[in-house]
Amino acid sequence: MSKIVKDTENRLHSLVTEALGKAIADGVLPAEPIPGFKVEVPADRANGDYSVNAAFACARAFRTAPKKIADAVSKYIDLGDSYFESCSVAGPGFINFMLGDRYYADILLDIKECGEKYGSSDFGKNKKVNVEFVSANPTGPMHMGNARGGALGDCLASVLSMAGYDVSREFYINDAGNQVDKFAHSVEGRYIQEIKGEDAIEFDASWYQGDDIKALAHDLVEIDAGDTYAYDEEGAKTKDERERKAAEHIFGMLPEDQGMYLKALWEEFEAYETAEAKYAHMLDNFQPLLLNDAAGGISWTEHQVKKSQIYKRNEKVEETSATIWKCMQDKIDKHIQAGHVLDE
């Protein structure tokens, strides 16, 4: 917590205590010890930046209605050189306070002075905390459910560290153990079935059933061949030949049965006939569009890409998913309006 914030809360507590003391001295309130009360932030900020429950806390000791106590505080309080610009009474005795502009100006200066340490505290009292978290699951397609562990764990550790805890991180790279062993058996079982027939091996029900390896095989070929920019017309002329040579190179490095299996998967993707291949193609086209959208259309702008080019490249998406195609159209239209894509 910023020192200014803490000092402001303490200052408000003192101002209310002083106002109660003045009201007691003038005989407006009974001469009784002032009970403890709290300085709070209202749930609804329309009720003020801060609120105190002094009127309710003092009601029993003073044998006085909370509203009368709150009115006395409002009358006698001297906001003077404090950060507060107003005090108001609401309902049966809520005492609310509004901060002035000087407070926010000083907070900005405090943020600048504290730098990366702004918001830190000693709440944890250097207590030791160990945070364990893991990387994404490598045995299946990447999605937010299995990718979030690393980010959430690291963020939690950083928050605890800022709160004054002595934090140690244990980040486990999820590349070993039973799940990876099972994944290896699953892949081996599938390619044996692909090469020698489904009867060649009994596929254990506990093994992984996913089709994502098809898309992986396609990406490996693109990496070796050198990816071609989506709207590079010259590069596109040699793309198929380069990727074919890359496939022969990559899969030729593997044992014959493995190479045949993976090459068959790649060819299935390129043939665009099975439902799995069409789905993988759709994702392969959707991803760069999402990246361009997230980057403010920078690549489209740089290459002066036309709407007709984007539509041509994605002309098969609708037959796989009308919902995804509608989403893509909406994003394209947004970037046409922003001037990132030429409406041609």
- Asked if residue 181 belongs to a domain, the reply is no
> Would you place residue 288 in the very low, low, confident or very high pLDDT band (cuts 50, 70, 90)?
confident
Of 145 and 209, the one with more pLDDT: 145
Tell me the Cα Rg of the chain: 33
Percentage of the chain beyond pLDDT 70 is 84
Mean pLDDT on 76-96: 94
Q: Are residues 13 and 42 in the same domain?
A: yes
Q: Are residues 59 and 144 in the same domain?
A: no
Q: What is the per-residue pLDDT across 109-138, written as a single tens digit (0 to 9) for each?
A: 999 988 888 888 889 999 999 999 888 777
Q: Are residues 20 and 133 in the same domain?
A: no
Q: Are residues 214 and 293 in the same domain?
A: yes
Final residue of a domain: which of 102, 128, 146? Answer: 102
Q: What is the CATH number of the domain that holds 12?
A: 3.30.1360.70
- Asked if residue 285 belongs to a domain, the reply is yes
Q: Are residues 302 and 235 in the same domain?
A: yes
- Asked if residue 180 belongs to a domain, the reply is no
pTM, rounded to two decimals: 0.46
> Would you place residue 34 in the very low, low, confident or very high pLDDT band (cuts 50, 70, 90)?
very high
* pLDDT at residue number 231: 60
Percentage of the chain beyond pLDDT 90 is 41
- Asked if residue 49 belongs to a domain, the reply is yes
Q: Are residues 231 and 320 in the same domain?
A: yes
Mean pLDDT on 30-41: 94
SS3 130: strand
- Asked if residue 112 belongs to a domain, the reply is no
The answer, yes or no, to whether residue 219 has pLDDT greater than 80, is no
Q: What is the tally of structural domains in the chain? A: 3
Q: What is the per-residue pLDDT across 140-195, written as a single tens digit (0 to 9) for each?
A: 666 777 778 888 999 999 999 999 999 999 988 777 777 778 777 776 676 666 55
- Asked if residue 44 belongs to a domain, the reply is yes
The answer, yes or no, to whether residue 217 has pLDDT greater than 60, is no
Note down the domain range covering 15: 3-102
* pLDDT at residue number 227: 57
C-beta neighbour count of 314 within 10 angstroms: 20
Of 278 and 245, the one with more pLDDT: 278
C-beta neighbour count of 184 within 10 angstroms: 13
Q: Are residues 16 and 90 in the same domain?
A: yes
Q: Are residues 229 and 312 in the same domain?
A: yes
- Determine the Cα–Cα distance for residues 300 and 341; give it in Å rounded to an integer: 6
- Asked if residue 86 belongs to a domain, the reply is yes
- Determine the Cα–Cα distance for residues 204 and 140; give it in Å rounded to an integer: 17
- Asked if residue 289 belongs to a domain, the reply is yes
* pLDDT at residue number 72: 96
Q: Are residues 73 and 167 in the same domain?
A: no
User: Residue 304: which region, alpha, beta or left (left: phi > 0; alpha: psi -120 to 50)?
Assistant: left
Of 239 and 57, the one with more pLDDT: 57
Final residue of a domain: which of 71, 102, 133? Answer: 102
